[in-house]
């Protein structure tokens, strides 16, 4: 659990939809639940490129509360935010399915299910993404 952050979909994607961002609010009631992955340091440059580090995202070190205590982790966060964006419905499905798969708290999963999404206007893109099983 990442304290004092809220999951928002205000990072503008190349397709103009909203992508997820763990946004620092400083509010004690806000938190983002998720999963911390261990990464081979040799793979970090490729991940940085795939995530658009420096262009779309910046990175910071955060303290995450885990089942075995606090863990220091590096996270990407949106370089620019655009309030009012909505995720495509297929993208939101990835987020919700991932939260369920990793057994995040049910009330948190429910809050994700209530996020308003929009249809992807590109039917081919929509079909390709919907074909991906989580």
Q: What does the pLDDT look like over 92-109, one tens digit per residue?
A: 999 999 999 999 999 999
Q: What is the mean pLDDT of residues 73-88?
A: 97
Q: What is the mean pLDDT of residues 79-84?
A: 96
The SS3 call for residue 114 is: coil
pLDDT attached to residue 134: 78
The CATH code for residues 2-130 is: 3.10.490.10
Q: At what angle do helices 89-101 and 106-113 cross, to 10 degrees?
A: 170
Phi, psi of 11 (to 5 degrees): -90, 120
Question: Which pTM does this prediction carry?
Answer: 0.92
- The set of residues, in sequence order, having a beta carbon less than 8 Å from that of 104 and lying 6+ positions away, is 33, 34
């Amino acid at each position: 659990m990442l304290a004092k952050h809220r999951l928002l979909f205000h990072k503008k994607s190349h397709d103009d939809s909203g992508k997820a961002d763990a946004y620092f609010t400083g509010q004690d009631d806000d938190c983002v639940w998720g999963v911390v992955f261990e990464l081979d340091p040799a793979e970090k440059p490729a991940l940085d490129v795939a995530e658009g580090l420096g262009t779309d995202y910046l990175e910071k070190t955060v303290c995450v509360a885990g089942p075995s205590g606090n863990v220091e982790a590096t996270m990407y966060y949106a370089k620019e935010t655009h309030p009012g964006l909505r995720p495509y419905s297929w993208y939101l499905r990835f987020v919700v399915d991932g939260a369920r798969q990793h057994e995040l708290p049910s009330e948190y999963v429910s809050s994700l299910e209530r996020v308003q999404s929009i249809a992807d206007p590109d039917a081919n893109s929509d079909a390709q993404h919907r074909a991906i099983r989580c």
